[in-house]
Amino acid sequence: MHLAYPAVLSALLFCTGLYGVLARRNAILVLMSVELMLNAVNLNLVAFDVWLSKAAEETLHSGQALTLFTIAIAAAEIGIGLAIVLAVHRNRGTADIDKLRDTAESHAADGPDSDAPAAEKAEATA
């Protein structure tokens, strides 16, 4: 098999994941798109490892070892990412990234950097 086939497939996977990260609004779909990008990297690592090991006739498969590390990192990333998404969903009631950004900006406007003094804010809420 030529090296071009897995390289093209890897590029397609990476571009699909990149589109998913940039276009999706749901945090879980963004995490899935990051996983697609990591899988594209894994495919490249294994393909180039096989290609280089045939050329050098060595038995050390460093690309496959790096792929195992990448899989372990991806599993930890998805576990922590899902825990964060669930915590945010429980607190805010949504996993929509745009709505979370809007609520964060509205809370930042009410913060201590606001122009109105604290006494005026207290009177306005009372």
Would the pLDDT of 19 be above 90?
Answer: yes
Residues 108-118: pLDDT tens digits?
666 655 555 55
33 or 102, which is more confident: 33
With residues binned 3-state (H G I as helix, E B as strand, rest as coil), the percentages for the chain, rounded to 5, are 80, 0, 15
Residues 87-125: pLDDT tens digits?
988 988 888 888 877 776 777 666 655 555 555 555 555
SS3 96: strand
Residues 6+ apart with CB under 8 A from 45: 63, 64, 66, 67, 70
Residues 48-96: pLDDT tens digits?
888 888 777 766 788 888 999 999 999 999 999 999 989 988 988 888 8
User: H or E stretch including 120?
Assistant: helix 118-125
Structure tokens at 64: 């496959």
Q: What is the DSSP letter of 110?
A: T
pLDDT, residue 111, reads 60
